Amino acid sequence: MAKKIMWIQKEISLNPRPRGFHLITDEVLKQLPDIQEIEVGNIQVFIKHTSASLTINEDADSTVRDDFESHFNQMIPENALYYRHTFEGSDDMPAHLKSSILGSSVHIPITNGNLNLGTWQGIYLCEHRNHGGSRRLVVTIHGG
Protein backbone atom coordinates (compact mmCIF):
# COMPACT_ATOMS: atom_id res chain seq x y z
CA MET A 1 0.00 0.00 0.00
CA ALA A 2 1.34 3.41 -0.97
CA LYS A 3 2.13 5.81 1.85
CA LYS A 4 -0.11 8.87 2.05
CA ILE A 5 1.53 12.09 0.85
CA MET A 6 1.07 14.93 3.30
CA TRP A 7 1.74 18.62 3.70
CA ILE A 8 2.71 20.06 7.06
CA GLN A 9 3.26 23.75 7.66
CA LYS A 10 4.29 25.28 10.94
CA GLU A 11 5.51 28.68 12.04
CA ILE A 12 8.28 28.46 14.61
CA SER A 13 10.18 31.02 16.64
CA LEU A 14 13.94 31.13 17.20
CA ASN A 15 15.57 32.51 20.30
CA PRO A 16 17.23 35.93 19.82
CA ARG A 17 20.88 35.78 18.85
CA PRO A 18 23.62 38.36 18.48
CA ARG A 19 24.87 39.45 15.09
CA GLY A 20 26.66 36.61 13.32
CA PHE A 21 26.15 33.20 11.77
CA HIS A 22 24.50 30.62 14.02
CA LEU A 23 23.76 26.91 13.65
CA ILE A 24 20.02 26.34 14.12
CA THR A 25 19.54 22.81 12.77
CA ASP A 26 18.84 21.23 16.17
CA GLU A 27 16.60 24.09 17.32
CA VAL A 28 14.50 23.76 14.17
CA LEU A 29 14.24 19.97 14.41
CA LYS A 30 13.15 20.09 18.08
CA GLN A 31 10.07 22.01 16.95
CA LEU A 32 9.24 19.55 14.13
CA PRO A 33 8.47 16.10 15.57
CA ASP A 34 6.28 15.37 12.48
CA ILE A 35 9.39 15.08 10.31
CA GLN A 36 9.97 11.58 11.72
CA GLU A 37 6.85 10.38 9.86
CA ILE A 38 8.30 11.29 6.44
CA GLU A 39 10.15 8.52 4.58
CA VAL A 40 10.80 10.59 1.44
CA GLY A 41 10.10 14.28 1.13
CA ASN A 42 11.33 17.84 1.21
CA ILE A 43 11.44 20.63 3.75
CA GLN A 44 11.49 24.32 3.01
CA VAL A 45 12.55 26.68 5.78
CA PHE A 46 11.63 30.33 5.12
CA ILE A 47 12.56 33.31 7.31
CA LYS A 48 9.97 36.09 7.67
CA HIS A 49 12.47 38.92 8.01
CA THR A 50 14.42 41.21 5.68
CA SER A 51 17.47 41.75 7.88
CA ALA A 52 18.36 38.11 8.56
CA SER A 53 18.80 35.18 6.20
CA LEU A 54 19.28 31.44 5.98
CA THR A 55 21.96 29.31 4.35
CA ILE A 56 23.48 25.85 4.61
CA ASN A 57 27.16 25.40 5.28
CA GLU A 58 29.85 23.88 7.52
CA ASP A 59 28.55 22.73 10.91
CA ALA A 60 31.70 21.30 12.51
CA ASP A 61 34.16 24.19 12.78
CA SER A 62 32.86 27.42 14.33
CA THR A 63 35.64 29.44 12.69
CA VAL A 64 33.78 29.04 9.38
CA ARG A 65 30.87 31.00 10.86
CA ASP A 66 33.28 33.62 12.21
CA ASP A 67 34.88 33.94 8.77
CA PHE A 68 31.45 34.33 7.13
CA GLU A 69 30.71 37.25 9.46
CA SER A 70 34.10 38.87 8.82
CA HIS A 71 33.83 38.48 5.06
CA PHE A 72 30.29 39.84 4.78
CA ASN A 73 31.18 42.82 6.99
CA GLN A 74 34.11 43.66 4.73
CA MET A 75 32.13 43.04 1.52
CA ILE A 76 29.12 45.08 2.69
CA PRO A 77 30.34 47.78 5.09
CA GLU A 78 28.25 49.92 7.38
CA ASN A 79 27.95 53.68 6.88
CA ALA A 80 28.51 53.69 3.11
CA LEU A 81 27.99 57.27 1.96
CA TYR A 82 25.51 56.24 -0.75
CA TYR A 83 23.06 54.49 1.65
CA ARG A 84 19.79 56.41 1.89
CA HIS A 85 17.95 53.94 4.15
CA THR A 86 19.69 54.85 7.41
CA PHE A 87 17.00 55.80 9.96
CA GLU A 88 17.06 52.36 11.68
CA GLY A 89 20.79 52.44 12.36
CA SER A 90 24.07 51.83 10.60
CA ASP A 91 23.57 48.05 10.54
CA ASP A 92 20.13 48.15 8.87
CA MET A 93 20.84 48.73 5.17
CA PRO A 94 23.84 46.35 5.19
CA ALA A 95 21.55 43.77 6.83
CA HIS A 96 19.05 44.07 3.98
CA LEU A 97 21.80 43.66 1.38
CA LYS A 98 23.32 40.63 3.13
CA SER A 99 19.89 39.07 3.47
CA SER A 100 19.18 39.44 -0.25
CA ILE A 101 22.54 37.97 -1.21
CA LEU A 102 22.19 34.90 1.03
CA GLY A 103 18.45 34.38 0.65
CA SER A 104 15.31 33.87 2.68
CA SER A 105 14.90 30.09 2.42
CA VAL A 106 16.61 26.74 2.19
CA HIS A 107 15.30 23.43 0.80
CA ILE A 108 16.50 20.10 2.15
CA PRO A 109 15.54 16.53 1.22
CA ILE A 110 14.06 14.34 3.95
CA THR A 111 14.99 10.65 4.00
CA ASN A 112 13.69 8.19 6.60
CA GLY A 113 12.57 10.93 8.99
CA ASN A 114 15.86 12.84 8.91
CA LEU A 115 17.24 15.83 7.06
CA ASN A 116 19.40 14.42 4.30
CA LEU A 117 22.27 16.86 4.78
CA GLY A 118 25.90 16.22 3.94
CA THR A 119 28.27 15.08 6.67
CA TRP A 120 29.43 18.60 7.54
CA GLN A 121 26.29 20.58 6.72
CA GLY A 122 23.95 22.51 8.98
CA ILE A 123 21.34 25.25 8.71
CA TYR A 124 22.59 28.73 9.58
CA LEU A 125 20.58 31.65 10.85
CA CYS A 126 22.50 34.62 9.50
CA GLU A 127 21.69 37.44 11.90
CA HIS A 128 22.74 40.68 10.25
CA ARG A 129 21.48 43.14 12.89
CA ASN A 130 23.24 44.00 16.14
CA HIS A 131 19.94 43.45 17.99
CA GLY A 132 17.68 41.46 15.67
CA GLY A 133 15.49 39.88 18.32
CA SER A 134 13.49 36.69 17.97
CA ARG A 135 13.16 35.44 14.40
CA ARG A 136 10.13 33.67 12.85
CA LEU A 137 10.42 30.80 10.40
CA VAL A 138 7.74 29.13 8.30
CA VAL A 139 8.58 25.48 7.76
CA THR A 140 6.79 23.50 5.06
CA ILE A 141 7.20 19.72 4.86
CA HIS A 142 5.94 17.69 1.91
CA GLY A 143 6.28 13.96 1.63
CA GLY A 144 5.13 10.60 2.82
Please count the other Cβ atoms lying within 10 Å of the Cβ belonging to residue 79.
Answer: 10
1, pLDDT greater than 70: no
What does the pLDDT look like over 65-80, one tens digit per residue? Answer: 999 999 999 999 999 9
Write the CA distances from 15 to 28, 125, 136, integer angstroms. Answer: 11, 11, 9
pTM of the model: 0.95
Domains and CATH numbers, the chain: 6-143 (2.60.120.460)
